[in-house]
A = this chain, B = another copy of it.
Amino acid sequence: MVTMEDVARLAGVSKMTVSNVVNNRGGVGDLVRQRVLEAIRESGYRVNVSARTLKSGRTGVIGLAVPEIDLPYFSHLADLVIDAAARRGYHVAIERTGAAETGEADALAHSRLLQFDGLILSAVALDGLDERLTEAGYPIVMLGERDFGGRFDHVSMPNEAGIKAATGHLADQGCRRIGIVSGPAREGVNVVTRRYRAYLDALTERGLAADPPLLFPLDRMTMEAGRAAAHRMVDSGHEVDGLVAVTDTIAIGVLRGLADRGLRVPDDVRLIGFDDVPEARFLVPSLSTVAPDHRWMAEKAVELVVQRVHAPSRPTGEYVAPFDLMIRESTR
């Protein structure tokens, strides 16, 4: 391994001068700088990030903790966060929190997360984690639909406005019996409850509320579950002419499930989703959906962590992403 010491010797300068060159710190004569750069090239020197971090206390890395990277929403988000961070000179480390803990000693369990200068934490990943992180006074930005009671900077989706717009759009298209295909959570504040409530509100505003509500529940937020829910809906004989799916992933399953039962979209049932995943435009029929501005969210989240790295005690804020309603074949 080539160290700074080696480079210094090779260039006939001190370690410190090499460090200054490597970090573009100025105050180094042009001639000396050239000699040092040459020595770096020759020796194949590379900084040891651990040593730098140990000494400086800064990693230059923002952690992004998501429950699964496998999910289109999270991988897309990761991509955007990486861009936003790079623009501010930060690197992003993606951490998957979904899996069970390894056999590490308790004290070490989340130490990796705390290695970073700041953390963008997707809310689903939060359970059993928050106390340790909160107490640390560590720069954290929360992402997701839960309620954090103002304890953190928080960036969320346009849940209420988006679902209201979607439901309203179905009504505008002439739907009178509008159902919702929604996930497992029954209580608390989260994606499912927030969007379900917004759906009910939208129906009430339009005088379309059904009793009992046309809720087609899911046990998981997957395509498979969406398909099964569509089957159950059709088989139970409910006469629904419009459907709101809480996410596009579920909508894809619902689309398939309706096809399985011979129902046509939009002719028999209109369907709208939430997220605007890349496939949405390419499905047959193409999927109408609420398109939150993911780039805006990534940008905001990074901006907030970086700010907080420099001003740890700044008051926290709540931020909701803007959205577009993408009207496509599935509701026309």
Chain A residues with a Cβ under 8 A of chain B:
21-22, 24, 37, 40-41, 44-51, 53-54, 59, 68-72, 74-76, 78-79, 82-83, 86, 89, 91, 93-94, 96, 99, 102, 105-108, 110-112, 114-115, 132, 135-136, 223, 227, 252-253, 255-256, 259, 278-279, 281-284, 286
Contacts and interface: CB of A to CB of B under 8 A. Distances in A.
Contact of A86 (B21, B51, B70, B102): B102
A253 B227 contact: no
Given A50-B54, A54-B50, A107 B70 contact: no
A161 to B, nearest CB: 26
Copies in the complex: 2
Contacts of A24: 105
Contact of A45 (B93, B107, B284): B107
Given A107-B46, A108-B22, A68 B72 contact: no
Contacts of A102: 86, 89
Given A54-B54, A68-B79, A284-B256, A44 B111 contact: no
A227 B112 contact: no
A230 B109 CA distance: 51
17 contacts: A21-B105, A22-B105, A40-B105, A41-B107, A46-B114, A47-B111, A49-B115, A50-B51, A50-B53, A69-B94, A74-B75, A79-B96, A82-B99, A256-B282, A256-B284, A283-B284, A284-B284
Contacts of A44: 107, 132, 135-136
Contact of A256 (B54, B69, B136, B286): B286
A135 B2 CA distance: 14
Contact of A75 (B21, B70, B283): B70
Nearest to A103: B24
A82 B75 CA distance: 14
Contacts of A284: 255-256, 259, 283-284
Given A70-B75, A227-B282, 17 more contacts: A22-B108, A40-B107, A44-B132, A44-B135, A45-B107, A46-B111, A46-B114, A47-B108, A51-B54, A70-B76, A71-B75, A74-B75, A91-B112, A223-B278, A256-B283, A256-B286, A279-B279
A120 to B, nearest CB: 15
Contacts of A70: 75-76, 78-79
Nearest to A93: B93
A136 B1 CA distance: 10
A252 B93 contact: no
A50 B279 contact: no
Nearest to A75: B75
Given A50-B50, A53-B50, A114-B46, A99 B76 contact: no
